[in-house]
Each structure stands twice: as C-alpha cells, then as structure tokens.
Amino acid sequence: MIYDEAVKAIKTAILQSQYSAAQFVNEKQLMLYLSIGKYISLNSRKGSWGKGAIDAIGNQLDRELPGLRGFSPRNLRYMRTFYEEWAYLDNPSAELSKTSNANLAPAGAKLQITNWHPSVPEQTGFPYEAFFSIGFSHHRVILSKLKDNSERLYYIVKTAEEKLSREALEVSIARDDYHHQAKLPNNFSQTLPAAEQAFRAINTFKDEYLLDFINVEELGIRDRQDLDERVVENAIIHNIKNFILTFGKDFTFVRNQYHLDQFGVDQYIDLLFFNRDLNCLVAVELKRGAFKTAYLGQLQGYLSILDGFEKKPHENPSIGLILCKDMEKSFVDYVIQDYKKPMGVATYKTSKDMSEKLKKALPDIDDLRRLLEAEDS
C-alpha cells in the first residue's frame, strides 16, 4: 500500500503510548495526539502526501487495529488542527499571539513522540499543567468555538480547576464567562484587609449571571416587571445546585431568608452562602429592577451584623453581592467606593432575556438534569 510506512509509524506510536502508566494516560494521550498531528501536518501541508492520504491512513489503521477508537480520518484531522493551533508548544520561546502555520517545522520529519513540556515551564507563562490535564474532547470544543488564544487559555484553566464536563464547558462558553470575569463593580480593594483576598474576590464574581432555569413563561408571568424578588429567590432555591454551578466554584449554600435579629431588629438576607476559597460568608440580595443606591446601605447593614455576630474568628470579612436586573456600571463603580463593607453589584438574566443564539447553545432542561445527576453519581 502507498501509505504503509505512515500507517506503520502511527500504529507503532499508538501501541507504545498505550503501554504508558495509567496515571499519565491523559497527558500521554495528548502528547501522542500532538505528535501525530505534527507528523500529519508536516507531510500533508508541506510534504508529498496526496489529497486522500488522511482518509487512506485512517481507514487502514481501522483495518489493522480493529476495535481501536479515536483514530478515524476525522479524528486524525482534529489532531492535525490540535497541533497547528498550538504550534507554540513546539517553540515556547515564540510569542503565543504569533502562533500560526508559519511556525511549523519543515516537512519530511519522522513521527516522534515528543515531551511537549519545556524544561522550565514556569518561564513560559503557559498553563502546561492545566493544558495536559483536560481531555481531548474538551480541547476540541475549545478550538472549535473560540479563536482568541486568551479566551482559549481561560477556558482550559477553568475546565482543569473546576473539573468541568464537556457539556458544562459548552455551557460556560455559551454564557461567555470569559468576558464577564473580573468586571464586577466593587470596592473590594478598598475594604478587604489583604490585597490577595481582594484579588481572589474580584475574580470569584462575574458582572452578569445567566439564570436560564428561571423560565418566565412556565411561571405564568407575562410581564417581566411582575417577576419579583421572591419569585426569583424561590426559583433559585428549587434549582440551588444549578445556581451554584452558575455562581462559581467553592460556594456552599447556607439558607435563604437568613434571619438576623440582633438589637431587636428583624432582618432577612435573601440568600446566604459560604465560599471556601475566600473563607467568608457571602450575602446575596435579589432585586427585581434596576440598581438603586439604597440597596448598598441595606446590604452594608447586613454585613455589619454578620461580621459582628455570625462570622467565626478564623473567617475573613463577609462579602455582599447585589443581584439586580439592570445597572449603569460607571455609576455603581463611583458610588460603591464610599461604603466600608466589601460589596459588589451584578446583573442577572432569565430565560426570557436570552437571545435565540444563546438559547440554542445551552442544553435543554432534561439534558441539564441528566448532567447534574451524572455529576452526583
């Protein structure tokens, strides 16, 4: 056969890789895919392979290694794309932003399984550990849906840190979490005692949350103005795991309508959480309409009581979040700086507010329910 040598090289590389220790399976697999992708790229883009080479190689591999999955012609093309999009890993000293086919090595090289880690990975600024810890299916989603490397790296790290399933990754991309990170109007830098704590807090919260499980039509509400705080709160309580997945990692739900009765004054926090990473209580106030400055004063009062009577000695100062339907960010950024308790303001959208494009990108409720049940098992 015309491509016997290529088939033999790939088959040998596959079999050798499969003997690797189990704990390194994913990393070894990705390195295998990058190496095969490079080999295919060099020979198909610049070498002598004909137009039908990849199809012929994939089909012959299937015949010679029956039952082997993942090396179809389609997947071989994915491996080529995988290498070409991350050709930076072949030359870590180059700028990531300049990654392109122009950086590819000359044609004619033999297939070699390469260790794609640089000798001093911390000097490159590239998240190698996260990159090689997520599955190839996750990489395919990221490469197919995103073109900007900064966005790609964000979702690679997010997937690794939060152990996102492929479906959860797709939801995160559909929500456009990248563009909502660290943009929350807040006063954390001025009110939290440690700069590191302030930095973590800023990166914990987003400026907008998609509460797509709140279906206005199913609730029988025709006018969004009738969607009051208690309706939103009840919907969140009934979908609390979904909300926590939307809210972010390391949140533990304490309770809704958390009762504060110090000094003989009854007050109720809409939603109270504890964040393990921030090591603090997080009070969330839900507001139906647009932001009002009075909400900050109300929330500051809750935080004062929480810190004075509820906070444990080892915990950090409590943080407050106002979740409203709309706000003028520049206005909120300006007025929030005069308050002494750490607070932020974010907006939320329900299913009725979503664009058709976003609705189509998100899984339906049955798919989401299966996803949550699978994560529990």
Report whether 246 contacts 210 (CB < 8 A): yes
Q: How far apart are CA 317 and CA 194, in angstroms?
A: 11
Please say whether the dihedral angle defined by the alpha carbons of residues 145, 146, 151 and 154, taken in this order, is positive or negative: positive
Same domain, 201 and 105: no
| Residue with token string 């060099």 | 42
Do 239 and 335 lie in one domain? The reply is yes
- pLDDT of the residue at 166: 93
The answer as to whether 168 is a domain residue is: no
Q: How many whole angstroms separate alpha carbon 68 and alpha carbon 29? A: 14
Residues whose CB falls within 8 Å of the CB of residue 317, separated by 6 or more in sequence, listed in order: 191, 192, 193, 280, 303, 307, 311, 341, 342
Roughly how many angstroms between the first and final C-alpha of the chain, as a whole number?
48
Q: What is the CATH number of the domain that holds 244?
A: 3.40.1350.10
Domain that holds residue 144: 4-163
189 and 273 inside one domain: yes
Structural domain count of the chain: 2
Q: Helix, strand, or coil here: 267?
A: strand
297 with 351, same domain: the answer is: yes
Q: Are residues 204 and 130 in the same domain?
A: no
Say if 176 falls within a structural domain: no
Q: What is the reported pLDDT for 13?
A: 84
| Segment (H or E) for 149 | helix 149-162
The amino acid at residue 287 is K
- Give the Å distances, CA to CA, from 53 to 73, 101, 317, 355: 9, 20, 62, 42
The pLDDT, as a whole number, for residue 370 is: 53
Looking at residue 29, its amino acid is Q
> Which residues of the chain fall below pLDDT 50?
21-23, 98-103, 105, 216-226, 365, 368, 371-372, 374-377
Cβ within 8 Å of residue 122, ≥6 positions away: none
Q: Which of 163, 198, 217 is the last residue of a domain?
A: 163
Among the listed residues 314, 311, 318, the one whose alpha carbon sits nearest the alpha carbon of residue 342 = 318
Same domain, 158 and 291: no
Q: What is the pLDDT of residue 213?
A: 62
Interatomic CA distance for residues 53 and 3, integer angstroms: 8
E strands, the chain, are: 208-211, 251-260, 267-275, 280-286, 319-324, 343-350
Question: One-letter amino acid identity for 13?
Answer: A
